[in-house]
Amino acid sequence: MSRVKRGTTAMKRRRNILRQVKGYRFGRSTKQRVAREAIFHAGVHAFRHRRAKKRDARQLWTLRLNAAARENGLSYSKLIDVLKKKGVALDRKVLSTLAKDHPGVFARVVKKLS
């Protein structure tokens, strides 16, 4: 059986890792072992922050709704309570978009509920 030299495979793997860490600082961008660890940690943070992004968006919707509801004489909790009791199918995202972009329409929705 003939001998297989594996330099090309190892270089390909190393090159792939170092391409992923382009723009990182210090040894993270040049040394394979440190770079592989940096990629792993970056993946962990990316996974966590994909979930945090959804949480942040919902918090923003709540803030916008509270501000808009208070302008119309309600609090956020009372607004949500009235929505649920009346069976309104608009979710927080849609309501916050209305409150931000079309305050007149939002005011009419609140008036209908009260």
Residues in the chain: 114
Residue 1 lies inside a defined structural domain of this protein: no
Residue 62 lies inside a defined structural domain of this protein: yes
What angle in degrees, to the nearest 10, is found between the helix axes of 76-86 and 32-71? 80
Angstrom distances, CA of residue 17 to CA of 22, 23, 24, 40, 43: 9, 13, 12, 11, 13
CA 5 to chain CA centroid, Å, is: 46
Question: Where residue 47 sits, what CATH number does that domain have?
Answer: 1.10.1900.20
Percent of all residues in the chain with a pLDDT value above 70, rounded to a whole number: 100
**Quick one: which H or E segment has residue 48?**
helix 32-71
CA atoms of 74 and 59, how far apart (whole Å):
18
pLDDT in tens, 29-54: 999 999 999 999 999 999 999 999 99
* pLDDT of residue 6 exceeding 90: no
Summarize the confidence of residues 78-100 as an average pLDDT: 95
* pLDDT of residue 1 exceeding 90: no
* pLDDT of residue 4 exceeding 90: no
Q: What is the structure's pLDDT at 114?
A: 78
Q: What is the structure's pLDDT at 34?
A: 97
Q: How many domains does the chain have?
A: 1
Summarize the confidence of residues 86-97 as an average pLDDT: 94
3-class secondary-structure state, position 87: coil
pLDDT in tens, 67-82: 999 999 999 999 999 9
Residue 2 lies inside a defined structural domain of this protein: no
* pLDDT of residue 23 exceeding 90: yes
- What does the DSSP assignment read for 80-111? HHHHHHHT----HHHHHHHHHH-HHHHHHHHH
Structural domain harbouring 69: 7-113
* pLDDT of residue 5 exceeding 90: no
Residue 104 lies inside a defined structural domain of this protein: yes
Residue 38 lies inside a defined structural domain of this protein: yes
